């Protein structure tokens, strides 16, 4: 498995998509830094007027809102990376004749799959972690705002892209590259839509909508993880500040609790079992 993982890792880093994502990331982080400094400037002038008796902490609202946006962008870029690194892992590669010479070697198919997953998940998690840290440092340096929890949101984001990589790898066993890519992005979009639905539900006080959103978020735990990460940003905010915080697009922040982490791990495990069974039966 280690040989396969090392090979897949090397392959990932050589893919054009990796370079593209790195460039996009640099552009995004530069824009983010610029935007954040503008936002904090505005807020300082605004909150300077009535310092006394203002129940809303403008810095917290601005920082968490803008950083929530950064979290979303990070998740999106991480998802792009996760999908493109795995979308053709099995069927796509088999159609091009890349997979057969490897599968014929005395390495179990399960190990083959595990190696690819470890490599893709590792690359994506490391990438997301790095972008998260840089965005946090930028926010801190520019506006002096730091998230209430430093580690948890980053971990949640990294886990979310690992879940997406697992879904895409499973899809790659049954679908050709293009179909799988489209499919996984639709699933990703469905998760985001569920988050949006939850927000609307909250605004309308519709329990029904909120329930649907919550079930979907747990069915697609990358969404629940993302929401839980958002929530951890302002875990200590109380009262009006908490109310005023509008975190990121597509995500009524919602604390997942420890159960979510367990569920995410089980979820990836179940996907692994399904992938293993599917790959074992597949003619190449």
Partner 1 sequence: MPAALAATGLQKRYGSAEALVGADLRVEEGQLLGLLGPNGAGKSTLVKIACGLVRPSAGGIEVLGVPAGSIEARRGIGYLAELFRFPGWLSADELLTLHQRLAGSDGAEAERAELLALVGLADARAVKVEAMSKGMQQRLGIAQALVGSPRLLLLDEPTSALDPVGRRIVRDLLQELRSRGVAVLLNSHLLSEVELVCDRVAIMLDGRIVEQGAPAELSRPRGVEIETASGTQVYEGAGRDDVPRIVAEQVHAGGQVYGVRVLSSTLEDTYLEAVSGG
Tell me which residues touch partner 1 (CB under 8 A): 3-4, 7, 11, 14, 96-98, 100-108, 281, 283-284
The smaller minimum CB distance to partner 1, of residues 4 and 233, is found at 4
The smaller minimum CB distance to partner 1, of residues 119 and 232, is found at 119
The smaller minimum CB distance to partner 1, of residues 102 and 114, is found at 102
The DSSP code sequence of 149-185 is -SHHHHHHHHHHHHHHHHHHHHHHHHS-HHHHHHHHH
Asked if 145 and 62 touch (Cβ cutoff 8 Å), the reply is yes
User: What is the nearest approach in angstroms of partner 1 to the Cβ of residue 102?
Assistant: 7
CA distances to 1, 111, 172, 266 from 105, in Å: 12, 12, 21, 30
The DSSP code sequence of 214-260 is HHHHHHSHHHHHHHHHHHHHTTT--HHHHHH---SSS------HHHH
User: What is the nearest approach in angstroms of partner 1 to the Cβ of residue 121?
Assistant: 20
SS3 46: helix
The angle subtended at Cα 137 by Cα 65 and Cα 18, nearest 5°, is 90
User: What is the nearest approach in angstroms of partner 1 to the Cβ of residue 193?
Assistant: 36
The smaller minimum CB distance to partner 1, of residues 14 and 238, is found at 14
Which are the contacts of 257, defined by CB distance < 8 A and separation ≥ 6? Answer: 228
DSSP state of 15: S
User: What is the nearest approach in angstroms of partner 1 to the Cβ of residue 11?
Assistant: 6
Q: What gap in Å lies between CA 137 and CA 131, rounded to an integer?
A: 10
User: What is the nearest approach in angstroms of partner 1 to the Cβ of residue 21?
Assistant: 18
Please name which of 67, 85, 201 lies closest in space to residue 146, comparing C-alpha atoms: 67
User: What is the nearest approach in angstroms of partner 1 to the Cβ of residue 86?
Assistant: 16
User: What is the nearest approach in angstroms of partner 1 to the Cβ of residue 165?
Assistant: 20
Q: What gap in Å lies between CA 15 and CA 109, rounded to an integer?
A: 23
The smaller minimum CB distance to partner 1, of residues 102 and 237, is found at 102
The smaller minimum CB distance to partner 1, of residues 7 and 263, is found at 7
The smaller minimum CB distance to partner 1, of residues 115 and 229, is found at 115
């Amino acid at each position: 498995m280690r040989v396969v993982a090392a090979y897949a890792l090397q392959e990932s880093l050589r893919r054009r998509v990796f370079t593209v994502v790195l460039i996009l990331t640099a552009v995004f982080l530069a824009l983010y830094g610029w935007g954040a400094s503008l936002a904090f400037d505005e807020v300082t002038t605004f909150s300077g007027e009535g310092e006394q008796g203002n129940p809303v902490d403008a810095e917290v609202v601005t920082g968490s809102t803008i950083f929530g946006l950064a979290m979303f962008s990070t998740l999106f870029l991480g998802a792009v990376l996760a999908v493109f690194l795995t979308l053709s892992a099995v069927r796509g590669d088999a159609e091009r004749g890349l997979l057969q010479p490897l599968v014929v070697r005395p390495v179990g198919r399960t190990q083959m799959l595990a190696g690819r997953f470890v490599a893709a998940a590792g690359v994506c998690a490391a990438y997301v972690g790095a972008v998260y840290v840089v965005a946090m440092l930028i926010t801190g340096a520019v506006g002096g705002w730091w998230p209430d929890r430093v580690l948890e949101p980053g971990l949640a984001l990294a886990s979310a892209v690992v879940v997406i990589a697992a879904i895409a790898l499973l899809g790659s066993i049954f679908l050709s590259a293009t179909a799988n890519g489209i499919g996984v992005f639709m699933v990703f979009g469905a998760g985001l839509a569920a988050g949006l639905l939850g927000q609307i539900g909250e605004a309308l006080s519709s329990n029904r909508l909120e329930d649907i959103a919550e079930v979907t978020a747990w069915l697609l735990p990358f969404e629940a993880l993302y929401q839980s990460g958002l929530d951890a940003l302002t875990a200590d905010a109380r009262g009006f500040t908490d109310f005023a915080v509008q975190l990121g697009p597509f995500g009524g922040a919602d604390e997942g609790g420890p159960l979510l982490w367990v569920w995410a791990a089980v979820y990836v495990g179940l996907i692994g079992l399904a992938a293993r069974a599917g790959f074992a039966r597949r003619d190449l």
